[in-house]
Structure 1
């Protein structure tokens, strides 16, 4: 199982451009839909935890999923599996960068990839919205958070802390109201 997990993480790391957030739909397809190692809710919970922990998001995701599946060794295998292709690619690029940095076709390739990466990053937002059960009553929360971050430069850390405190207070209010 660890070998399958390593190879799956390795495949995700090797064939995803755009960083950790662009990997989310591929990770979900591999870990939830294809291999059935977890359900959608577990995947979303791990994604939330990985977003709040320091470090590289893709490695955090893979290590958290690996830990859930096979403990400490699963976490280590996931982190190495997802990072190894990037490490190799960076080493190869570093070796040949001077020869290709001014190449017209390389520049055009990356200009063409950018819109696809934006779509890969946007896709998990819609999936998260479905899983988070957003409705017309609570859609204002992510909108206000995005505006606070993008327009007013509020730290995402403060947003996460405020959301956690707000959720806790709301839960306390609901429980007292029911008693």
Structure 2
């Protein structure tokens, strides 16, 4: 039954998300936490691993969640669920695109979806950011981890803006995280 639930959950996420993996984050977070499958902190760890492994982000997240919950069959069910809607929609779009590309309705729908996708990505950034920067809530935050996290974040944002290669940024941020972890006051 868990296999079917994984498939249907990720099928719904894949079906109702426009804009790619990052736009899926709010839906993934809501469903995974509502079903009690994992905590926000566990999900953030899966997001970090998904970001740093090859392949599409949403596929990676769904695969890791499925594997964590139900092993290899769970990974397969979750991955198939998240990929199948896109595959079917692309087949339909490719079939009918020429007939509808100049339609005012299609153009208007796309114009309305773009800001919604940006809003969903922004909500995911805020939610993941809270878990990363304030894992125990505002009252439990000590200065050292928060300052270190914000400093690493700011430095990586600057290096990203300077067009440093993402692999270098990932490796450098991991190294800085290790160093700040060892230097943390007891």
- In the superposition, the TM-score normalised over structure 1's length comes to 0.91
1:82 matched residue in structure 2: 82
Give the RMSD, CA atoms, in angstroms: 1.6
User: Which residue does 1:172 correspond to in 2?
Assistant: 182
SS at match of 1:53: coil
List aligned pairs for 1:115-126, cutoff 5 A: 115-126=115-126
Looking at structure 2, the residues matched to 137 and 167 of structure 1 have their Cα atoms a distance apart, in angstroms, of 12
Gaps of 5+ in 2: 135-142
The number of aligned residues is: 174
Map of 2:11 onto structure 1: 10
**Equivalences for residues 97-108 of structure 1 within 5 A:** 97-108=97-108
> Counterparts of 1:136-175 in structure 2 under 5 Å?
137-138=147-148, 139-150=150-161, 152-174=162-184
Q: 1:16 to 1:124 in 2, by over 3 A?
A: same
Structure-1 residue corresponding to 2:55 = 55
Query: Contact 2:15–2:86 (CA<8 Å) still a contact in 1?
Result: yes
2-side partners of 1:145 and 1:45: how far apart?
18
Aligned-pair distance for 1:111?
A: 1.5
**Structure 2 match to 1:71:** 71
Structure 2 distance, partners of 1:2, 1:155, is: 38
Unmatched runs of 5 consecutive residues or more in structure 1: none
Judge conservation of contact 2:156–2:173 (CA < 8 Å) in 1.
Answer: no
Scaled by the length of structure 2, the TM-score of the pair is: 0.87
Distance 1:167 1:145 in 2: 12
